[in-house]
Copies of this chain bind each other. A is one copy, B any other.
Amino acid sequence: MAIEAEVVRPGDPSERVADVINLLKQRFGERLSTSSALREQHGHTTTWLRNEPPDAVVFAQSTEEVAEIVQTCAAHKVPVIAFGTGTSLEGHVNAPLGGISIDLSRMDKILEVNSEDLDCRVEAGVTRKQLNSYIRDTGLFFPIDPGADASLGGMAATRASGTNAVRYGTMKDAVLGLTVVTADGRIIRTGGRARKSSAGYDLTRLFVGSEGTLGVITELTIRLFGQPESVSGGICPFPDVESACNAVITTIQMGIPVARIELLDSLQVRACNSYSKLDLAETPTLFLEFHGSEAGVQEQSEMFSSIAEEFGGGPFEWTTVAEERTKLWTARHDAYWAGKGLRPEADIVATDVCVPISRLAECVGETARDIEQEGLLAPIVGHVGDGNFHVQVLVNLDDPEEKRKADGFIERLAVRALKMEGTCTGEHGVGQGKQKYMRREHGDAIDYMQSIKRAFDPDNLMNPGKILPQS
């Protein structure tokens, strides 16, 4: 270790932070910055929450460096916030108590690809697109695709998913093992490369979704999948969101192994038409994709076509031509920016919930009516095969009346999902934005989350002020 752990001196927090910054500056030189633009960027990102910048940002280049930084912070009781690409939505990287943001974006090495085992090991700063472009020639791919080109470390930390989750699962399923720097600056490894194990507590899945509050993920071993022999995909219009949702429910119940099944409401279709130069009918629309053998995807596409018809939807126009599919899915992934285009000067409050699929039509329907009643501009788009959907509320947060309406709507949405045996967030995570729903969702189980937090991070230095409600 280049830096010796020092005894904590009494003194106010700002002195301790100043000491840490001095020490890290000596060690990391130019790779530590206290510029206000950089600090703000590391607090803000794509969230709608108020910016709370860290005191400094350090760019780490190895697990050992992360351990050094955490040790230094731990010795001075200064908070640590891990930062990937900053594309989280619920204030995950804000620094309400100040502290040091560890930027992992330069830890971008793909350490090994084991194509025989369909797995790979990467540093936490590798992004999903970087990985996919690196492995393209191996015949493999990594399916998990949140809208943004997020870092894999960040995706694990927030238990991300995306459009392919209905078939390939979420980060919970994709991560086989992790390297983690814990609150005292130790380096541990969880899980491994075996496809399954019954050897002890599942620390891997405890860190997945812990949002940096239990440790900093620095490396991941993750599953890959064979690129499907054939892919078909297309779009299918419906008269209303309920009929679209009912077609989804039937598709899932019949066990059709759909790879992607996404709902865009009329407003979202209009936004995508405008942003991505499409000319779709402006009605609730499902985007679908099927993966399999040539005969398989044809069979699946035809089965879905009949289901859509049964619910008054269609025609289901599908194709196996890659360019056409890519255009559609790029539009789908750009939905956030397309939505913003509906009111470019507005703030976006992006939120998500997830319910059992039998309640999906009801939940989306009630939500659409709520949007209408409140007169909000808020497109709906969702991974409906999982019962998960997003609402993107376009508001001026500086206007108290608009803010009040948006807050009320989002709270009603979360509570509606919980009443339907769902969750207040399917994939965005808790961060700061959804802490207030945690006890309602988990009841006394929250106390056991708190006790894990205390056991792993007794001084509350790892991304403090996130996930767990202040009690």
Contact = CB atoms under 8 A, between A and B. Distances in A.
Interface string A176-188: 0000001000111
A403 B178 CA distance: 37
Nearest to A468: B200
A361 to B, nearest CB: 11
Interface stretch (A68-76, A125-133, A331-339, A446-454): A446-454
Contact of A195 (B160, B225, B386): B386
Interface stretch (A96-104, A205-213, A277-285, A370-378): A205-213
B423 A356 contact: no
A26 interface: no
Nearest to A202: B205
Contact of A228 (B165, B203, B255, B295): B255
Nearest to A294: B299
B198 A356 contact: no
Nearest to A293: B299
A455 interface: yes
A197 B254 contact: no
Interface string A429-468: 1100010011001111111110110111000000000011
Nearest to A117: B356
A192 B449 contact: no
Contacts of A115: 253
Contact of A225 (B161, B190, B255, B437): B255
Given A117-B358, A192-B422, A195-B354, A448 B173 contact: no
A45 interface: no
Name, among A170, A447, A455, the residue most crowded by chain B CB atoms within 10 Å (CB to CB).
A455
A306 interface: no
A301 to B, nearest CB: 13
A280 B369 CA distance: 64
Nearest to A429: B198
Contacts of A190: 442, 445
Nearest to A303: B293
B199 A434 contact: yes
A39 interface: no
A119 B355 CA distance: 13
A197 B114 contact: no
Nearest to A221: B421
A421 B193 contact: yes
A172 B114 contact: no
A427 interface: yes
A210 B199 contact: no
Given A195-B354, A228-B255, A421-B192, A201 B116 contact: no
Contacts of A448: 182, 188, 203, 456
Interface in A403-422: 417, 421-422
A226 interface: yes
Nearest to A438: B200
Contact of A358 (B116, B172, B426): B116
A430 B358 contact: no
Contacts of A208: 202
Name, among A158, A196, A357, the residue most crowded by chain B CB atoms within 10 Å (CB to CB).
A196
Given A201-B210, A203-B449, A209-B202, A194 B467 contact: no
A252 interface: yes
Interface in A218-254: 225-226, 228-229, 249, 252-254
Given A196-B423, A201-B467, 7 more contacts: A195-B386, A196-B388, A200-B441, A200-B449, A202-B205, A293-B296, A296-B299
Interface of A: 114-119, 158-161, 165, 169-170, 172-173, 182, 186-190, 192-203, 205-206, 208-210, 214, 225-226, 228-229, 249, 252-255, 257, 293, 295-296, 299, 354-358, 386-388, 417, 421-430, 434, 437-438, 441-449, 451-452, 454-456, 467-468
